[in-house]
Amino acid sequence: DAGVTQSPTHLIKTRGQQVTLRCSPKSGHDTVSWYQQALGQGPQFIFQYYEEEERQRGNFPDRFSGHQFPNYSSELNVNALLLGDSALYLCASSSIELQLLVPGELFFGEGSRLTVL
């Protein structure tokens, strides 16, 4: 049973470029959340997708956008990259049913480490 998978694992971009990160949730999960973790900080919530719609959003600018596909996989897009966007981007999956059983249990992927030069 594959866990949450993310790609790419590492990437380097320059300021002003755009990036797309991808995530496949754990089997049986239908909800995908994205978090940004800067060095030495805890993960910060970006947004969550359920049924192909953005369900919740954190305090991130519109440069951060996303998408969920019918197979529950998801993409995170960041436009006009800034140096401060350098971070580990974590995808986490869950399901509505799981949240009822164990509220707050998210399954994280290993992340995509983005460096902006």
Residues that bind another protein in the complex, under the rule CB under 8 A: 31, 33, 35, 40-45, 48, 55-56, 58, 90, 94, 96, 99-100, 102-106, 108-111
Residue 79 identity: N
Q: Which one, 14 or 56, has the nearer CB to another protein?
A: 56
- Check if the beta carbon of residue 33 is closer than 8 Å to that of residue 95: no
Q: How many CB atoms lie within 10 A of CB 15?
A: 11
Q: What's the DSSP call for residue 59?
A: S
Q: Which one, 33 or 85, has the nearer CB to another protein?
A: 33
Rg (CA), the chain: 14
Q: Which one, 40 or 70, has the nearer CB to another protein?
A: 40
Give me the least distance between CB of 15 and another protein, in Å please.
25
Helices (H), the chain: 96-101
Give me the least distance between CB of 99 and another protein, in Å please.
4
